[in-house]
């Protein structure tokens, strides 16, 4: 009887630790690009680590790694539409969840991450 309880707790932990937030808007590539163009105050944030960012990033993106979010929240304005992305979409969803808990409301992340991006890449 104890094993099913342990299994449920482990599954809950894994989902909360690695799953994307259901509250953060998730857009596919074309819709994400339209959001970048049509939002009056967009801020594009790449939440990958610096070495990943240096390998190629969406033009105009600011690199604020998920691992540094706690120390760098002051760089992220609450009054702008935040467009988040990472390599696969997991970290950007997690970053969105963290920001939501801190009171940010205008959040969107790129479903599938930069791997699904069909637009220009800067290096």
- Taking the C-alpha atoms of residue 4 and residue 19, their distance in angstroms, rounded to an integer, is 21
Q: Point out the residues that are catalytic.
A: 86
- Phi–psi pair at 100, nearest 5 degrees: -60, -40
**Parent domain of 64:** 20-116
- For residue 8, is it within any domain? no
**Number of domains comprising the chain:** 1
- What is the reported pTM? 0.81
- For residue 64, is it within any domain? yes
Side-by-side strand order, sheet with 81-85:
25-27, 107-110, 81-85, 42-46, 62-63
- Taking the C-alpha atoms of residue 68 and residue 83, their distance in angstroms, rounded to an integer, is 17
- For residue 51, is it within any domain? yes
Judged by DSSP in three states, 111 sits in: coil
pLDDT in tens, 57-114: 999 999 999 999 989 999 999 999 999 999 999 999 999 999 999 999 999 999 999 9
């Amino acid at each position: 009887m104890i094993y099913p309880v342990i299994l449920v707790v482990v599954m809950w932990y894994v989902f909360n630790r690695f799953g994307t937030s259901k509250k953060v808007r998730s857009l596919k590539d074309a819709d994400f690009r339209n959001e970048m163009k049509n939002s009056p105050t967009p801020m594009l944030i790449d939440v990958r680590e610096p070495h990943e960012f240096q390998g190629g990033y969406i033009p105009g993106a600011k690199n604020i790694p998920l691992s540094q979010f706690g120390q760098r929240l002051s760089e992220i304005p609450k009054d702008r539409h935040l467009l988040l992305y990472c390599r696969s979409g997991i970290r950007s969803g997690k970053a969105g969840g963290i920001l939501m808990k801190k009171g940010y409301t205008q959040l969107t992340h790129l479903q599938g991450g930069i791997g699904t991006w069909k637009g220009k890449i800067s290096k």
